[in-house]
Structure 1
């Protein structure tokens, strides 16, 4: 019991990590406020959590600020590009409501395919940028290649990332719980869990 509660014990390590994730979550939300910085903030958060799971930590504050500054330009450019393509997809879905031609089924499948690709990029590209140094194009292409070649690790990442979002639509109670958790821990916890999977994937490269 003494070993369990001492400064080097599992309880203290768990409590320390728990507090670090709360701090990281707050920093992530604060730096997302301008909206156009969400990409850079996500990259910075993953930069910290990827170091956590590799035991290469440099502190939450320093690690986040350094990664945010280092990847700001590239991550923001990718985020704006994803926003732009997302708006195009949305407009296509709206146009589909008015379309009454012979290629409706083909258009639906095409939209679903490109929506899935867009979703994959939105979830996978920022952790990739946090770990590797490439051009914007190379980062987006390589993130998709990694997803295709590592489906069994990618599927849990999608579940961890999308699952909480889907749950909030099931009931008002779950929505309030998800909102509360997101404010204090949700985003950093998802990034932390995903980082264990990303660590196993990225070690191959």
Structure 2
């Protein structure tokens, strides 16, 4: 029985991880309350879960808010872009389906083709958005290149994309269909939705990080500057200008 509760036992390690995820979940939800901050909050969420997947995290609260602050501007802009794009897609679907009063759907072949095109565009956008905040959490880049790299990564690493879409879909749908499970959402479900695919994301991102960057990280080379080393083989893999960020003001690195 003593071994079971030993600080180094698998059980204690598991319970510590659950406690960390619960703390992370509560912080994430609190930072999402203003709604417009969901982008920076989700970026910080992935920053911590990616660290967890590597067993590198130390202080959950400190790491979360440093990432939240570092990526606030880009995360906010990208979230607003995502909302605007989603609104346009919904409006287009309503127009093409004749769901808006005063606008009739002529039912022509052109409208059918447009409906299919918009559906394809919406799916590709969903693929891209599933990667944007994890990519922002890991790499330092412009908003344009973050979207571009996210699109290529989501297509190239489809299994990871599918897992992320499924985990977040289950999380959001259970909250909508089963409101009695609200306490589970408040305690752990959102952080768990980011934590599960983070193990796959770590392997994906490692393919776009130059070997010399890994060597510096192993030596503990955390600093106050953003590393500007372009990933040499990123273009060959379909991803351009992916640049790793050692964290700027993040003491643990990015």
Secondary structure of residue in 2 paired with 1:2: coil
Alignment match, 2:101: none
1:156 aligns with 2:163: yes
Secondary structure of 2:36's partner?
Answer: coil
The residue that corresponds to 2:149 in the other structure is 142
- Conserved in 2, the CA contact under 8 Å of 1:157 and 1:197? no
How far apart are the structure 2 equivalents of 1:45 and 1:130?
A: 8
Q: Is residue 127 from structure 1 mapped to residue 103 from structure 2 by the alignment?
A: no
What is the match of residue 176 of structure 1? 180
Gaps of 5+ in 2: 99-104, 209-254
Question: For 2:43 and 2:172, how far apart are their aligned partners in 1?
Answer: 20
CA distance in 2 between partners of 1:49 and 1:137 (Å):
24
TM-score normalized with structure 1 length: 0.92
CA 1:33 to 1:115, structure 2 compared with 1: closer, same or farther past 3 Å?
Answer: same
Higher relative contact order (CA 8 A, sep 6+): 1
* Structure 1 gap ranges (5+): none
What is the CA-CA distance between 1:132 and the residue it aligns to? 0.7
Aligned equivalents of 2:109, 2:15: Cα separation in 1: 60
Bigger fraction of residues in helix? 1
Query: Which SS does the other structure have where 1:86 is aligned?
Result: helix
**Structure of higher CA gyration radius:** 2
Q: Distance in 2 between matches of 1:23 and 1:163?
A: 21
The whole-number CA distance in structure 2 between the counterparts of 1:78 and 1:4 is 46
Where in structure 2 are the equivalents of 1:76-91 lying within 5 Å? 76-91=76-91
Match of 2:4, SS state, is helix
Aligned-pair RMSD on alpha carbons?
1.5
Displacement of 1:97: 2.2
Answer yes or no: is the 8 Å Cα contact 1:123–1:161 preserved in 2. no
Q: What whole-Å deviation, never above 9, does each CA across 1:95-142 have from its counterpart, x for those lacking one?
A: 112221331221121121121122223321001100111100101110
